[in-house]
Amino acid sequence: MRAMLPTALASLPTQLRGMLDVHRANLRSRTYQNAALNPPTVPHDVIPVTTPDGVKLRVHAYGPADGDVIVLVHGWTCAIEYWYPQINAFAGEYRVIAYDQRGHGESELGSSPLDCDLLADDLCAVLDAALRPGQRAVLVGHSLGGMTLQAWAGKHPDRVTAQAEAVLLSNTGPHSLIAETTVVPPFNKPLSWLGGRTIPLPFWFGRLGLGTPIVFPPIAPVRWVFARQIMTLDAPRELVDFSMAVVRSCPASVRAKFGFLLADMHLGDSARNLVVPTTLLAGEFDDMTPPVHSEQLAEILAEVGSLVRYEVLPTGHLGNVEAYERFNAELGRVLESVYRPVEAVG
């Protein structure tokens, strides 16, 4: 018995990791009364993808293999499952590709230093595996996913017209997240008792907050804060529960590592290389990436001539969940414009 104890103790970390992996997968695969939030009924293919630095990514392809392609790139602390409202809406007609960013969902993290260029290279690996030679896709990025698309365009400008039909960026920005975020009261918001002036959020404090491995227990006060600061208090309970479950499935250590990445991120004018038709969506009540970020991107894209549309939705940060029908309508318009263009008459 005593002889077996060291072996049992040695295997304990592996057993705990296995239990946590199952728990996180269960969080992402919960079912809801709202069918848009549930696992897709269409089957999916698993696309094997290994990045240049040896990291294995989880990549799923939904819908007809010969369908026009949509590629969904999720944001910080999310996963493939975050896109269920879009996969369920479009996988019947389109080939919908979604993947877990490294360290998220079931993708490996690897040991390479994290930066946006690394995420851009990951996207290259996904596109090369998912697209046929010469094939192009509509690329959709939310939050960090939108930053990944900007970094991809900045580092690999030749790929933009070669692999993208159009781009949709949602709730994202190019830089200065801490300087603009209003997620930490009372910083960065005009204050009436200061005559409309603001108190800037100290960079060190914002960076510490983003990089702290916070745990989100499923209790009422945490749910309220999540709804208030990340979404809005008007968001239906199921949408909050769905979003919070996906976010809670991300390991706290990964959340912290990517939090530092976001704090230090500066993509400059990388968006200038998004020379294909690009749509921007912002959230009116988004405290994480306030509309000022989308306005900066809109200005850049307008100068380039690639801005097709800029809309501010009545949502917080999770626009494609909070207003998924409106978001899907915008994405549907993009798809129709590039895959089903109306022929000119006369």
pLDDT band at 27 (very low <50, low <70, confident <90, very high): confident
Domain 39-176+266-339, CATH? 3.40.50.1820
Distance CA 262, CA 257 (A): 9
What's the chain's average pLDDT? 93
pLDDT of amino acid 268:
94
Structure tokens at 125: 């690996």
Whether 1 shows a pLDDT value over 70: the answer reads: no
pLDDT of amino acid 344:
39
Structure tokens at 237: 């309970």
pLDDT of amino acid 245:
96
- Range scoring the smallest mean pLDDT among 70-74, 201-205, 232-236: 201-205
- Range scoring the smallest mean pLDDT among 22-36, 148-162, 251-265: 22-36
Greater model confidence, 195 or 143: 143
- Cα pseudo-dihedral 16, 22, 24, 27, rounded to 10: -140
Distance CA 55, CA 99 (A): 13
pLDDT of amino acid 251:
96
What is the average pLDDT across 332-345?
79
What is the average pLDDT across 31-38?
97
Distance CA 329, CA 73 (A): 18
What is the average pLDDT across 91-98?
98
Whether 28 shows a pLDDT value over 80: the answer reads: yes
Whether 235 shows a pLDDT value over 60: the answer reads: yes
DSSP readout, 6-38?
HHHHHHHHHHHHHHHHHHHHHHHT---SSGGGS
pLDDT of amino acid 2:
59
Distance CA 44, CA 125 (A): 19
pLDDT of amino acid 9:
56
pLDDT of amino acid 113:
96
Q: What percentage of the chain exceeds 70 in pLDDT?
A: 94
pLDDT of amino acid 231:
98
Whether 340 shows a pLDDT value over 50: the answer reads: yes
pLDDT of amino acid 345:
38
Distance CA 142, CA 273 (A): 18
Question: pLDDT by residue (tens digit) across 118-174?
Answer: 999 999 999 999 999 999 999 999 999 999 999 999 999 999 999 999 999 999 999
Whether 110 shows a pLDDT value over 80: the answer reads: yes
DSSP readout, 154-207?
HH-HHHHHHHEEEEEEES--SB-HHHH--SSTTTTS--GGGTT---PPPHHHHH
Question: pLDDT by residue (tens digit) across 296-317?
Answer: 999 999 999 999 999 999 999 9
Question: pLDDT by residue (tens digit) across 65-92?
Answer: 999 999 999 999 999 999 999 999 999 9
**What order of strands is seen across the sheet that includes strand 59-62?**
44-46, 59-62, 95-99, 69-73, 137-142, 164-170, 278-283, 307-313
What is the average pLDDT across 247-251?
96
Sort strands 56-57 and 49-50 into parallel, antiparallel or unpaired: antiparallel
Place of tokens 């409106």: 326
Whether 187 shows a pLDDT value over 90: the answer reads: no
Is the whole model's pTM more than 0.85, yes or no?
Answer: yes
Every domain of the chain and the residues it spans: 39-176+266-339
Contact 156, 127 (CB under 8 A): no
pLDDT of amino acid 5:
55
